[in-house]
Amino acid sequence: MVLRALKKMINIALPKGRLGEKAYGLFEAAGFECPSIREESRKLIFENPEKGVRYFWVKPSDVVIYVERGAADIGIAGKDIILEYSPDIYELLDLGMGKCRMAVAGKKDFVDMRDRTLRVATKFPNIAKEYYNKQSREIDIIKLNGSIELAPILGLSDVIVDIVETGKTLLENDLEPKADIVDISARLVANKVSHKFKNAEINDICVKLEEMLSTSKK
């Protein structure tokens, strides 16, 4: 009797929301489908042993934590999260989805005179600090968790550092981009130990995802 070797299960952390759903669609198209994930359910974990994949939904900012600590072998994380938390993981592939940019924004009439400490409101204090450190600019970070655009309007900050997609929200609140910091998109990331011991399985996923991305660009 010939025994078939069991596939090593690859645990995949997907960010909840539109980005995660779009990313799963890419995995599905690449041949790593898991039909139960499409069903109406409150479940958080879905697996297809035949394909060797197990998916689970997590908060977008937590994906890199699951991957770094080995609860997930691979995951989908925004470049903003990777830059902000600097996790000890491998960045394998730019998926080219969820494109936006990290930018400095402020009131249209604001001019940074550099004669006093600049007040910066943001959800991304580490990205903001690194950006202004390179300019040798003294700043006061105001860490907020939402409605960042309110800060300069109400005089809480001079500028904000935040993700900008179309710029419509800024415009509607009489704000404008002042400087772009970095382009953002979704990345396939991997746990370093998993990448060593499940290299064949992870590489197979990477190759097939790249093929799908190449096809979609044609």
pLDDT per residue rounded down to tens, the chain (218 residues): 444 455 689 999 999 999 999 999 999 999 999 999 988 888 889 999 999 999 999 999 999 999 999 999 999 999 999 999 999 999 999 999 999 999 999 999 999 988 999 999 999 999 999 999 999 999 999 999 999 999 999 999 999 999 998 888 899 999 999 999 999 999 999 999 999 999 999 999 999 999 999 887 65
pLDDT of residue 215: 82
pTM over 0.85: yes
Whole-angstrom Cα distance, residue 79 to residue 184?
Answer: 5
The answer to whether residues 193 and 89 touch, using CB atoms and an 8 Å cutoff, is: no
The answer to whether residues 210 and 111 touch, using CB atoms and an 8 Å cutoff, is: no
In the chain, at which residue ranges do the beta strands (DSSP E only) sit? 10-15, 45-48, 53-58, 74-78, 90-94, 100-107, 118-122, 139-143, 159-164, 175-184, 186-190
The alpha carbon of residue 198 and the mean position of all alpha carbons in its chain are separated, in whole angstroms, by 23
The answer to whether residues 128 and 120 touch, using CB atoms and an 8 Å cutoff, is: yes
The answer to whether residues 105 and 170 touch, using CB atoms and an 8 Å cutoff, is: yes
Question: Cβ neighbours of residue 50 under 8 Å, at least 6 residues apart?
Answer: 7
Whole-angstrom Cα distance, residue 74 to residue 53?
Answer: 11
Whole-angstrom Cα distance, residue 187 to residue 85?
Answer: 14
